[in-house]
Amino acid sequence: MDSNFLILASQIQVEEIYAELGTTEDKIQNDVEAIMEWTRKQPHLPNLEGQKQKVKSFLLACKNSIEKTKQKIEKHYTIKTLLTYLTHIELTNQFIDEINECYVVTPLPILTNDANRITLIHLKTGDMTKFSYPNYSKCVLMSADIRSSKLDNNKKEIIINDLKNYTISHFTAILPHVNNAVLCTMEGLAFRLQSIHLLNVPSFGVSVINLFLNKINKKHATKIYIHKDFEELKKHIDPSILPKNYGGTFPKTSEELMDDWKNELLKHHDWFEDNNKLLVDEKKRVKKSSYTFDSVDGSFRKLEID
């Protein structure tokens, strides 16, 4: 782990996470190596030799199930290949300028007592001319991906999404991407979801939120909370973790934290370039399984799971 921004789980917290999953560091290392050996025998998968930390994150997200981890790795890299318009990260000056003007997608530095990581998401402006849903999505995915790959060791994920600057036009722009957004976030990432907290939900956004709820499994749907104000949020989140503009006592605003996190991401420019190359080669996929999901064009694609 090499983050100067995130406060990581302590050794005691890590051991508690392992105990809950019925595993140990030695067992995890053996399981990761078994999964790596499996990936080497899948000609369609990219070379994952430098991705052991990410494989470990997938294993923990799948509650130490090797078979589920294989499925998750298949999903992740296939979705990443099919949906490059949401997953291909290029830290160009134009993209960085757009982040500076428009988006806050930042993990909060302090973990909860249960070692969960909170990510705070909101728009800086309601100006629709500055908004690109694919780029907004990339901010979310790049943050989650690099944390699971090399920067974090948390237990589960808590998302706070503040919709205060959303207009009808924003929701209209998001609507065509709902299926793909669910695939990328709920199916393709190496994390376990603890809860999602929505703030300042406008009445015209309820239909889009309901559409999202219909696309995710019922277990995840029960983890979504809508709050009318910060006081309700603080019943779920310790104020010491929240930035000062969200009713917390952490001595920075969400935008200041986003500036810090953006600088952290920029340090890993080369990692993002290398990660973009880790794609599935469908021509080399040798057999199919019964696992399916909707691809970009709405057709069904089958994945190989040994």
> Can you give the pLDDT at residue 281?
95
Count of C-beta atoms within a 10 Å radius of residue 81: 17
When pLDDT is averaged across residues 153-176 and rounded to a whole number, the result is 95
DSSP 107: E
> Are 71 and 156 contained in the same domain?
no
Contact 110, 148 (CB under 8 A): no
Same domain, 191 and 290: no
110 and 126 in a single domain? The answer is yes
Question: What is the domain-level CATH number for residue 108?
Answer: 3.40.525.10
- Identify whether 98 is part of a domain: yes
Structural domain count, the chain: 2
Q: Both 26 and 152 in a single domain?
A: no
* pLDDT, position 218: 82
Pair of tokens at residue 19:
């105990």
Task: For residues 56 and 154, state if they share a domain.
Answer: no
DSSP assignment of 148-174 equals IIII---S-EEEEEE-TT--HHHHHHH
pLDDT for position 209 = 87
- Kindly report, residue by residue over 245-301, the tens digit of the pLDDT: 999 999 999 999 999 999 999 999 999 999 999 999 989 998 664 344 444 333 333
Clarify whether residues 78 and 98 are in a common domain.
no
State the Cα–Cα distance between residues 13 and 193, nearest whole angstrom. Answer: 18
- Total count of residues recorded for the chain: 306
Q: Tens digit of pLDDT for each residue in 197-241?
A: 999 999 888 888 888 888 888 888 889 999 988 999 999 999 999
Q: Model-level pTM greater than 0.85?
A: yes
Q: Residue 214: which domain range? A: 92-269
Q: Which of 70, 108, 67 is nearest to 239 (CA)?
A: 108
Q: Are 24 and 68 members of one domain?
A: yes
Shared domain check, 124 and 75: no
Does any domain span residue 1? no
Residues 6 or more apart in contact with residue 243 via CB below 8 angstroms:
108, 120, 250, 252, 253, 254, 256, 257
pLDDT attached to residue 2: 65
- pLDDT category of residue 1 using cuts at 50, 70 and 90: low
What's the confidence (pLDDT) of residue 22?
96
H or E stretch covering 60 = helix 52-61
Q: To the nearest whole number, what is the mean pLDDT of the chain?
A: 91
- Does a structural domain hold residue 274? no
115 and 53 share one domain: no
Residues 136 and 255 in one domain: yes
